[in-house]
Amino acid sequence: MDQPTITEQLETPAEAREAGRKKIAWARQHMPIMTAIAEEFGAERPLEGETVAMAMHVEAKTAVLTEVLAEAGAEVAITGCNPLSTHDGVSAALDAHERITSYAKHDVDDEAYYAAMEATLDHGPTVTVDDGGDLVMAIHEDRPELLDSVVGGCEETTTGVHRLRAMDDDGALNYPMFAVNDTPMKRLFDNVHGTGEATLSNVAMTTNLSFAGKTVVVAGYGYCGRGVAKKAAGQNADVVVTEVEPRRALEAHMEGYEVCPMAEAAERGDIFVTTTGNRDVVTAEHVERMDDGVVLANAGHFNVEIDLDGLNDLAESRREVRDGVEEFRMPDGRRINVLADGRLVNLASPVAMGHPVEVMDQSFGIQAVCVRELVDGDGYDPGVHEVPDELDREVAEIKLAAEGVEIDELTDAQREYMDSWQHGT
Ligand code: NAI
C-alpha cells in the first residue's frame, strides 16, 4: 500500500496524537451508550475476524465508534468523508491503535482524498460504514472484486441514503445497507438537534456575529432545517423558510415561520443556511438580490447547495476576511460572505467540532449495533434496509437508563386494547 497513513504524513505525530487522545477521552466520557456497548462488545467480541472500512467525519465522536468496533475484535481502516472535517490529532490517535489504520488528513486535495479512500478499501472490508455513501460507490464502481467479501454496510446521513435508494431502484446495489439515518434514534435527534445546535454555534463562532435581531433564511424544512429554524428563532432571529415540498412548507408556516421563495427571501435575509441535500439552492440570481454583508452557510452534505461558481462569476474579487470566512466582493461594492467554502459548516469550518457529543452517542450507538447485526444477524438481501426496531429501542433504553429516566410499561389490558379492533364504541 503506497498511501501513507496519517502518522506518516504528520511532522509531529506524537504531539498531534496527544491532543487527539484528549479530545477522544472527553467525548467518550460523555457517551454512556457507547460505553455500555463497548462493555458488551469487549466481552463478546462480535466482530472478531471482520474488517471494517469507514469513511466518516474523523473527529472525536467518530473516533469513539471506531475504537469500539476495534475493541469488538475488528480490524478497522478509516478515512474522511469530507476534505475539511478531519481533526488530524484524532486521526493520529486512532492510527496508533494496533487494530486501526487511519488515512484521514485535514485539507487534502481531491487526489489525496480519493487515494486515501482507495487505501482504506485495500484492507478488504467485510463491512462498510459510510457518511455520504462514498465507500459503497467506490466499491461498486471501481472495486467490484470486493463485493464478494462484503457482508453489508451502514449509512449515516440523508444524502447517502438517497444515493443508496437510487442505486437500489436501479438494481445496482449489490449488498445490504442499513439506513441508519432514517431510524428515530438518529434522525429525530442528530438531524434536528445536532444540526440545529452545531450549525448555529459554528456560524456564531466563525463570524462572531449575533443572531438576535437578524433575519435567518433556512432553505429546506426537513429534519435538519426544522432544527436550524427552531434554534435560530430561540436566539431571537426572525426566521424565513424556503421549501419545494408543499407539506413541509405548510408545516413551517403552521410553526409560525414566514415561508416564501428563495428569490424573495434573498432580499430579506442576513444569514442564509441551506439544509436541503440538493444543489443550486442559492444561485447567482439570488445573490444579485442580497444585501451587503450577508452570510451564506451550508449545512447539507455536499458543497453544491450554494452555487459557488456562479457567485465567483459575479464577483469582482474574493479574499479571506476571517478564518473560515471568504468575502466575494460584487462590482457594486456589496460583500457576500461564504463560510467554510460552502461545505457543511458545523463540520468544516476552522472551529468546527461537529454535533454535540450526546447526540452522536445515539447515532453511533445505532451504527455499532447495526454493524453487530450485519455480522451476527440472520443475513440480509442486497438493498437498503430499515434499522430493525428492536435495535433502535435497545439504544433508546440504554440512553434512558443513563439519563436516569424511567417510563411506564403497558399493562396486559392496555396491550390487548391497543392490539384489538373490537374495543370501543
Ligand atoms: P430531509 O429530506 O428531511 O430535508 C430536506 C428538505 O429540503 C426537504 O423538505 C426538501 O423538500 C427540501 N428541499 C429540497 N430541495 C430544495 C430546494 N431547492 N429549496 C428548498 N428546499 C428544498 O433531509 P435532512 O435529514 O434534513 O438532511 C438534509 C441534508 O443535511 C442532507 O444532505 C443530509 O445528508 C445533511 N445532513 C447534515 C448534517 C450536518 O451535520 N450538517 C447532519 C445530518 C444530515
Tell me: the pLDDT tens digits for 107-165?
999 999 999 999 999 999 999 999 999 999 999 999 999 999 999 999 999 999 999 99
DSSP-based three-state secondary structure for 225: helix
Q: Are residues 366 and 342 in the same domain?
A: no
Q: What is the DSSP letter of 123?
A: T
> Is the beta carbon of 283 within 6 A of some atom in ligand 1?
no
Residue 120 lies in a domain: yes
Indicate whether 302 and 390 sit together in one domain: no
Confidence (pTM): 0.94
Q: Which atom of ligand 1 is nearest to the CA of 299?
A: 41
Asked whether residue 413 is domain-assigned, the answer is no
pLDDT at 111: 95
How far from the centroid of its chain's Cα atoms is residue 288's Cα?
Answer: 31
Residue 299 lies in a domain: yes
68 CB-near residues (< 8 Å, 6+ apart): 34, 37, 38, 41, 364, 368
Residue 163 and residue 239 in one domain: no
| pLDDT value, residue 2 | 78
d(CA 185, CA 178): 14
The domain boundary, picked from 348, 372, 394, lies at: 348
Kindly give the distance from the C-alpha atom of residue 62 to the centroid of ligand 1, in angstroms, as a whole number: 22
Q: Compute, in angstroms, the gap from residue 288 CA to the centroid of ligand 1.
A: 24
Residue corresponding to grid cell 472525536: 60
Kindly give the residue spans of alpha helices, DSSP state H, lying in 187-222: 195-207
User: 15 with 164, same domain?
Assistant: yes
Q: What amino acid is encoded at 366 in this protein? A: I
The response to whether residue 202 sits with its C-beta less than 6 Å from ligand 1 reads no
Atom of ligand 1 at shortest distance to CA of 157?
34
| pLDDT the model gives residue 1 | 54
Which residues, 6+ apart, have CB-to-CB distance to 102 below 8 Å?
5, 6, 7, 58, 77, 78, 79, 91, 92, 94, 95
Q: Is the CB of 257 under 6 A from ligand 1?
A: no
pLDDT in tens, 255-300: 999 999 999 999 999 999 999 999 999 999 999 999 999 999 999 9
Based on the fold, state whether residues 381 and 264 are members of the same structural domain: no
Within a domain: 425:
no
pLDDT for the residue numbered 377? 84
Q: What atom of ligand 1 comes closest to residue 302's alpha carbon?
A: 32
221 lines ligand 1 (CB under 6 A): yes
Q: Is 227 in the pocket of ligand 1 (CB under 6 A)?
A: no
Rounded-to-10 torsion of CA 59, 61, 67, 69? -120
Assess whether the C-beta atom of 174 lies below 6 angstroms from ligand 1: no
Q: By alpha-carbon position, which residue is closest to atom 20 of ligand 1?
A: 243
Which residue in 352, 295, 279 sits closest to 61, CA to CA?
Answer: 352
| Any atom of ligand 1 within 6 Å of the Cβ of 279 | no
User: Do 50 and 109 share a structural domain?
Assistant: yes
Taking CA atoms only, the protein residue closest to ligand 1 atom 32 is: 277
CB 220 near ligand 1, within 6 Å: yes
Same domain, 161 and 137: yes
Q: Range of 108's domain?
A: 6-186+356-403
Counted domains in the chain: 2
C-alpha span between 270 and 293 (Å, rounded): 8
Ligand 1, atom 31: closest residue by C-alpha: 277
Residue 409 belongs to a domain: no
Residue 26 lies in a domain: yes
Pocket test for ligand 1, best of 218, 301, 344 (most atoms within 8 A of CB): 301
Is residue 169 domain-resident? Answer: yes
The answer on 249 and 182 residing in a single domain is no
In this structure, the strands spanning 215-219 and 335-339 are unpaired
Amino acid at 299: A
The confidence score (pLDDT) of residue 196 equals: 98
351: Cα within 13 Å, side-chain hemisphere: 16
Residue 75 belongs to what H/E stretch? strand 75-80
Does 181 lie in the same domain as 63?
yes
Residue whose CA is at the smallest distance from ligand 1 atom 12 = 220
In a domain, 414, yes or no: no
- For residue 153, give the CATH number of its domain: 3.40.50.1480
My answer on whether 229 and 108 are in the same domain is no
- Residue 344 shares a structural domain with residue 393: no
**Which regions in the chain score pLDDT beneath 70?**
1, 425
CATH number for 257: 3.40.50.720
Ligand 1 mean position, distance from CA 300 (Å): 6
- Atom of ligand 1 at shortest range from CA of 223: 26
**Does the beta carbon of 132 lie inside 6 Å of ligand 1?**
no
**DSSP state for residue 282 in the 8-state scheme:** B
Indicate whether 307 and 200 sit together in one domain. yes
Is 301's C-beta closer than 6 angstroms to any atom of ligand 1? yes
* Gap between the Cα atoms of 305 and 290, Å rounded: 17
- Give the Cβ contact number of residue 120 at 10 Å: 28
Written as one string, the DSSP assignment of 79-114 is EESSTT---HHHHHHHHTSTTEEE---TT--HHHHH
